[in-house]
């Protein structure tokens, strides 16, 4: 079960939402929180800092990178202090960590000793990002060794979760997580399968057999059609507010490919989603 939650923090509204979600889960699950802030090495050592003095026609400021690191670390310390104070006020066990590196890589490295990563769909630069989720979040989804819960800008307690199940190993892991959380949180669970041909019932029967010992209020739905669009439409039309699914890749290069169904659903569903790899 989930007992340690990694919560990347960047000072954005999405980061605060990730903390709100993590606080809620912590109280329900008895989990500890780990607040992580990463000083972005790209901001310290990128070409911009090396080229700016020459392009502007003056001598290099040799101490610029050092001072930049100090400023970024001070900002990170302030962000983590807010994290600590918020956890203390909520009565939740916590620890804080700061590291320097490529943000997504550092998050995935720290995730090795956590049970779940909770992070915002987008980050501090959301207003400059035109895609539906930030590049850091997408990189973590592709490489994280542990499940990732991606959340929207504001926290709303979920009431109606949906599991998209296709029988794959990752979907089976997602079903386990969905069952554990639904039972602990006292939530119902809808299990949705989508097949290309009518009459496919084996997957739903497998899911029903697996979930029976959990004693949760489960509903099983089978649809025929295109999986990505069918999942998104069913989620939206039935007012679901949390989606569980497994990365649907079919390749050994899984760090580069999430799968067409996963990619489409992640970009189409506005609510929180829990992804297993």
| Contact call for residues 208 and 52 (beta carbons, < 8 A) | no
CB count, 10 Å around CB of 64?
14
Residue 140 has pLDDT above 80, yes or no: yes
The reply to whether 170 and 197 lie within a common domain is yes
Q: How many domains does the chain have?
A: 2
User: Does 141 map to a domain?
Assistant: yes
Strand partners, 212: none
Mean residue pLDDT across the chain: 86
Percent of the chain residues topping a pLDDT of 70: 82
The reply to whether 117 and 13 lie within a common domain is yes
Residue 43 has pLDDT above 80, yes or no: no
SS3 173: helix
User: Does 61 map to a domain?
Assistant: no
Mean pLDDT, residues 264-268 taken together: 83
User: Does 60 map to a domain?
Assistant: no
The reply to whether 213 and 266 lie within a common domain is yes
Mean pLDDT, residues 149-168 taken together: 96
Final residue belonging to a domain, choices 120, 151, 182 = 151
E strand residue ranges, the chain: 4-8, 32-40, 94-101, 116-120, 148-151, 161-164, 189-195, 218-224, 242-246, 273-276
Final residue belonging to a domain, choices 116, 151, 186 = 151
Final residue belonging to a domain, choices 151, 184, 214 = 151
Residue 228 has pLDDT above 70, yes or no: yes
The reply to whether 176 and 121 lie within a common domain is no
Residue 126 is part of a domain; what is its CATH number? 3.40.50.620
Residue 125 has pLDDT above 50, yes or no: no
Confidence tier at 257 by pLDDT (50, 70, 90): very low
Domain of residue 13 covers 4-46+50-55+67-151
Q: What is the pTM of this model?
A: 0.87
Residue 129 has pLDDT above 70, yes or no: no
């Amino acid at each position: 079960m989930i007992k340690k939650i990694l919560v990347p923090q960047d000072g954005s509204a999405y980061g605060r939402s990730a903390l709100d979600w993590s606080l809620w889960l912590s109280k329900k699950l008895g989990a500890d929180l780990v607040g992580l802030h990463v000083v972005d090495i790209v901001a310290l050592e990128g070409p911009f800092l090396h080229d700016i003095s020459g392009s502007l026609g003056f001598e290099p400021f040799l101490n610029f990178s050092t001072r930049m690191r100090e400023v970024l670390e001070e900002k990170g310390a302030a962000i983590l202090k807010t994290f600590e104070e918020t956890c203390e006020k909520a009565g939740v066990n916590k620890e804080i960590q700061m590291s320097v590196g490529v943000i997504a890589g550092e998050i995935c490295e720290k995730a090795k000793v956590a049970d779940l990563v909770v992070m915002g769909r987008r980050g501090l630069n959301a207003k400059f990002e035109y895609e539906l989720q930030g590049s850091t979040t997408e990189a973590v989804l592709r490489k994280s060794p542990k499940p990732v819960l991606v959340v929207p800008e504001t926290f709303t307690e979920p009431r109606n979760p949906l599991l998209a199940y296709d029988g794959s190993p990752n979907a089976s892991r997602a079903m386990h997580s969905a069952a554990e959380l639904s039972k602990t949180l006292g939530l119902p669970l809808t299990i949705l399968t989508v097949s290309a041909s009518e009459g496919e019932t084996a997957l739903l029967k497998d899911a029903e057999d697996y979930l029976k010992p959990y004693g949760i209020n489960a509903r099983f739905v089978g649809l025929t059609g295109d999986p990505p669009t069918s999942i998104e439409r069913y989620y939206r039309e039935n007012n679901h507010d949390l989606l569980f699914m497994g990365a649907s890749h079919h390749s050994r290069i899984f760090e580069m490919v999430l799968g067409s169904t996963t990619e489409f659903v992640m970009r189409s569903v506005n609510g929180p989603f829990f992804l297993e790899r």
